[in-house]
């Protein structure tokens, strides 16, 4: 077959958007965080169905900011967190860096979110303060059952929704299904701001704390009512306020340049999400003999098409020879990653091990055509052995 290369991910920023950005730059606007960042935040919150969003410089920073703000704001009864074994390094690493006891949860056999039985066992035994979910490849977790269990055991829930922008569960978008959710706008994600990310929440107190910690720990970005209350509590005058720090914060800010791109990308996001769902269904129809994700969702903005094969390395080499990129299914199991083994030893979990040993995902993005998917599926089936 003489087909064009099919990349795992592709640029979402169009030539038209680049020309618009170049024109905007020539108008001598503020480039650092400013009015466009605030406009993007308002628009992203409206899209997500939350009261607030906070733009940051990456999805990884979004996870760090959520973790640290929950700790600093006193939301957590202890420093214990459950993290999905199948996740991403920066879903887990902020909690390790902040000194949490981290407990890996096995995966659900259908949607690859957290397994409900293992989750309940961990909740009962460890009594953690927090669960962070990952909606693997865009497929929402079993949210109703998870929320019920976590309420029973007094555990707060947040989402790493970086792979699931636009996905919905029972008519609500990911990032609005818990206390807070994180997103990535890195190249190859659903939308891109070159580098960037965001957090969504409807909790006003947490919103103010995150705004502060995002920018050094000062109060100048915080809503006025909270800013005045903080000044009064700590007896800070209007001059001293410029360099008063209420939390030991970071600089996790994005810029108005990134926000300019983000606002344009948001206009295209509904169509991008629909294309990704269409592609997922085309893959599923083309590969009926292979495992595919199934989830309790009302809409899946698919990140990539995940499946299992017995001969993964042979499939990888065959696809590569045909100009098709593929990757392991996310990171496999965190319990078998080198950083985890060095600290804690190998951890075996039934479904996470299956993902680790046999999982891969095939390309899905807004620029892939039905013909591309037919080509990928044909090449895949030439050598792939179903698990």
**Tokens read off for 263:** 């606002």
Q: Is the CB of residue 70 less than 8 Å from the CB of residue 119?
A: no
299-314 confidence digits (pLDDT tens): 999 999 999 999 999 9
Give me the pLDDT at residue 188, please.
86
Q: What is the mean pLDDT of the chain?
A: 97
CB atoms within 10 A of CB 156: 19
Predicted confidence band of residue 351 (pLDDT cuts 50, 70, 90): very high
Q: Confidence band (pLDDT; 50, 70, 90) for 4?
A: confident
Q: Pairing state of beta strands 327-328 and 359-362? A: antiparallel
Residue 296 has a pLDDT of 81
pTM score over 0.85: yes
CA 37 to chain centre: 20
Helix (H) or strand (E) holding 353: helix 350-358
Give all domains of the chain, ordered by start, each with its CATH number: 15-259 (3.40.640.10), 268-383 (3.90.1150.10)
249 pLDDT above the threshold of 60: yes
Structure confidence at residue 317 (pLDDT): 98
Span 284-307, mean pLDDT? 94
Candidate from 10-14, 43-47, 316-320 with smallest mean pLDDT: 10-14
Instruction: Report the candidate in 325, 330, 323 with the shortest Cα–Cα distance to residue 307.
Output: 330
pLDDT tens-digit profile of 170-189? 999 999 999 999 999 999 89
| pLDDT band at residue 1 using 50, 70 and 90 as cut-offs | very low
């Amino acid at each position: 077959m003489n087909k064009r290369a099919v990349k795992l991910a592709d640029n979402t920023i169009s030539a038209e958007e680049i020309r618009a950005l170049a024109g905007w730059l020539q108008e001598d606007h503020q480039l650092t965080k400013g009015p466009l960042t605030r406009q993007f935040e308002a628009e992203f919150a409206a899209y997500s169905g939350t009261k607030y969003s906070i733009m940051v410089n990456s999805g990884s920073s979004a996870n760090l900011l959520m973790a640290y703000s929950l700790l600093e704001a006193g939301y957590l009864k202890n420093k214990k967190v459950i993290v999905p074994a199948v996740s991403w390094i920066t879903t887990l690493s902020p909690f390790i860096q902040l000194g949490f006891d981290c407990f890996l949860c096995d995966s659900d056999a259908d949607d690859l979110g957290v397994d409900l039985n293992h989750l309940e066992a961990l909740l009962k035994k460890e009594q953690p303060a927090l669960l962070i979910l990952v909606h693997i490849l865009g497929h929402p977790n079993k949210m109703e059952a998870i929320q019920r269990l976590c309420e029973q055991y007094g555990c707060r829930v947040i989402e790493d929704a970086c792979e699931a922008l636009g996905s919905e569960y029972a008519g609500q978008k990911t990032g609005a299904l818990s206390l807070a959710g994180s997103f990535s706008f890195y190249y190859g994600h659903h939308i891109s701001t070159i580098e960037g990310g965001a957090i969504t929440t409807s909790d006003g107190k947490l919103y103010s704390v995150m705004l502060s910690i995002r920018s050094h720990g000062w109060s100048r970005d915080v809503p006025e009512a909270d800013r005045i209350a903080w000044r009064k509590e700590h007896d800070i005058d209007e001059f001293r306020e410029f360099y008063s720090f209420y939390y030991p914060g970071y600089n996790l800010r994005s810029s108005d340049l990134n926000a300019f791109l983000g606002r344009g990308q948001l206009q295209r996001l509904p169509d991008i999400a629909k294309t990704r769902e269409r592609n997922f269904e085309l893959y599923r129809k083309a590969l009926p003999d292979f495992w595919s994700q199934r989830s309790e969702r009302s809409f899946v903005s698919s990140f990539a098409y995940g499946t299992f094969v017995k001969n993964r390395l042979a499939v990888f080499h065959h696809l590569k020879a045909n100009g098709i990129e593929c990757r392991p299914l996310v990171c496999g199991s965190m319990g078998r990653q080198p950083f985890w083994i060095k600290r804690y030893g190998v951890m075996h979990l039934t479904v996470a091990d299956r993902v680790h040993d046999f999982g891969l995902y095939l390309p899905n993005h807004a620029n892939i055509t039905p013909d591309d998917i037919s080509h990928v599926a044909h090449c895949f089936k030439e050598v792939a052995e179903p698990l």
